[in-house]
A = this chain, B = another copy of it.
Amino acid sequence: MRDDRAQVSGGDLQRLRQLNSLSSIRALRAARRPLTLTELAAITGLSRGSIVDVAGDLRERGWIAEVEPAPGSMGRPARRYRFRADAGHALGIDIGVHKILAAVTDLSGHMIASGRISVDAGAGRAARLDAVSRAVEAAMVAAGLTPADMWGVAAGTVGVVNRQGEITRVEALPDWQGADLLGHLAELLPCPIAVENDSKLAALAEQRFGVAAGVRDLVYLHAGRRPGAALILDGRLYHGYGGGTGEVGLLRVTGWPDMARHLEECPVAEGAPPEDAAALVFGAARRGDAAAKAAVRAYAEDLALGTAAMVLTLDPELVVLGGGFSRSADVLLGPLRRALEPHCLRVPQVRSSTLGDECVVLGAAGFALDRIDQRFFSPEGAISRPAAPLRTT
């Protein structure tokens, strides 16, 4: 290796530039504020020459923008750049039993607009897919964007979803199993499309934007009429071999299969339809009704048993209480914490979901953004000019 220059082939140089652009764009995005070239050079460890070169190139290609110097700065102010989160967009979809929600976000996951459609629990596959189409269209209209503006799409659906995005098992919606959701979305949107289980995406949302921000190991509890769970392990959404994770509640000894009866059989819910029982009981418990509080305690004890099975298996830092019942966290969280203690070696923190109704759709958009990242902002990616990428499903 005598003469430096002579050793660098064109291909090698291309690769080097790709890596420099990548580290710069990542640094600007992570900073969440404009950076000067000096700051950028310090963070990336690149030479001043390379940074000037990379910044000009990325700006030319629309990935970063120069911002006005801070007002009142004296002398000749240093140029500052920001990541252009508006350079592209992602679409998240939440396909639930009672509603379809679609949301358009920018590249930082900020929600720009959404469309929501209520569907009947008994609606068939075709009607549900049609509602998906309309919710997606509504979200794009509201955002003033077209399918060509979407760089990535992810949909969260009830049921077990395998790595191919196929819906392999659904309890809640009999004729939804095997629905070609991927194919249906591919008709609507000319970009990469992903389908994942809704609780998994809710867990991802809590880690990205919610109560689990920064937590690397957590169990997300979906507490509702159909209890379930999802896992974030080592900072990443855990899918499992076939996607059927978090199903410990199917084990009879956990008490999950019929823990709802504690609420449905509570006197304060007498005569009410089962789907309303929980709200009535939580409400009565909130007002101090003794029978209701006992029912919530009994429910929490069953919930804690299945949760303890996951906690003892995974030793997570945090358990997030999500799902419909998390709206009553004020009366459920305490009993759940107390019921966990006798079972656990180390009782994890237990917090309630804060994202509520938008949890799944935000997680879906975040999931789509991850795959955009892999395409554009990874050593394997292509940091070309922003544009709707070719359909790759």
* Interface positions of A (Cβ within 8 A of B): 1, 4-5, 7-13, 15-17, 19-20, 45-47, 49-50, 53, 57, 160, 169, 216-217, 229, 231, 233-234, 236, 238-251, 253-254, 305, 308-310, 312-317, 343, 345-346, 348
Q: For the complex, give the distance between the alpha carbons of A20 and B248 in Å.
A: 46
**Are A316's CB and B240's CB within 8 A?**
yes
User: Would A312 and B248 be within 8 Å (CB), given that A1-B17, A234-B234, A241-B217 are in contact?
Assistant: yes
Q: Which residue of B lies closest to A345 (CB)?
A: B244
Contacts of A10 in B (CB 8 A): 4
Q: Which residue of B lies closest to A10 (CB)?
A: B4
**Are B4's CB and A312's CB within 8 A?**
no
Q: For the complex, give the distance between the alpha carbons of A335 and B248 in Å.
A: 22
Which of B13, B242, B314 has a CB less than 8 Å from the CB of A313? Answer: B314
Contacts of A314 in B (CB 8 A): 231, 238, 240, 245, 313
Q: For the complex, give the distance between the alpha carbons of A348 and B245 in Å.
A: 13
Which of B47, B236, B312, B316 has a CB less than 8 Å from the CB of A247? Answer: B312
User: Would A251 and B4 be within 8 Å (CB), given that A47-B9, A241-B348 are in contact?
Assistant: no
Among A5, A7, A308, A310, max chain B CB count under 10 A is at: A7
Min CB gap A207→B, angstroms = 14
20 sampled A-B residue pairs with Cβ under 8 A: A1-B53, A4-B8, A8-B8, A8-B13, A11-B47, A12-B16, A12-B20, A19-B19, A233-B233, A233-B234, A234-B238, A241-B348, A242-B346, A244-B345, A248-B309, A248-B313, A251-B305, A310-B313, A313-B313, A313-B314
Knowing that A11-B46, A310-B313 touch, tell me 11 more A-B residue pairs with CB under 8 angstroms.
A1-B17, A7-B13, A7-B49, A15-B19, A217-B240, A233-B238, A242-B315, A245-B314, A251-B305, A309-B313, A313-B314
Q: For the complex, give the distance between the alpha carbons of A247 and B50 in Å.
A: 52
Among A45, A243, A314, max chain B CB count under 10 A is at: A314
Among A15, A49, A229, A309, max chain B CB count under 10 A is at: A309
**Are A305's CB and B253's CB within 8 A?**
yes
Q: Which residue of B lies closest to A13 (CB)?
A: B4
Contacts of A238 in B (CB 8 A): 233-234, 314
Contacts of A233 in B (CB 8 A): 233-234, 238
**Are A313's CB and B345's CB within 8 A?**
no
Which of B50, B216, B346 has a CB less than 8 Å from the CB of A9? Answer: B50
Contacts of A9 in B (CB 8 A): 46-47, 49-50
Min CB gap A31→B, angstroms = 21
Which of B254, B309, B313, B317 has a CB less than 8 Å from the CB of A245? Answer: B313
User: Would A244 and B8 be within 8 Å (CB), given that A233-B238, A254-B253 are in contact?
Assistant: no
Q: Which residue of B lies closest to A318 (CB)?
A: B241
Q: For the complex, give the distance between the alpha carbons of A253 and B306 in Å.
A: 10
Contacts of A313 in B (CB 8 A): 229, 231, 245-248, 309-310, 313-314
Q: For the complex, give the distance between the alpha carbons of A12 and B14 in Å.
A: 12
Contacts of A310 in B (CB 8 A): 313
Q: Which residue of B lies closest to A349 (CB)?
A: B241
Q: For the complex, give the distance between the alpha carbons of A247 and B242 in Å.
A: 23
Q: For the complex, give the distance between the alpha carbons of A251 and B313 in Å.
A: 10
Q: For the complex, give the distance between the alpha carbons of A91 and B202 in Å.
A: 43
Q: For the complex, give the distance between the alpha carbons of A49 and B11 in Å.
A: 11
Min CB gap A321→B, angstroms = 17
Q: For the complex, give the distance between the alpha carbons of A240 and B235 in Å.
A: 11
User: Would A250 and B312 be within 8 Å (CB), given that A15-B16, A217-B241 are in contact?
Assistant: yes
**Are A50's CB and B312's CB within 8 A?**
no
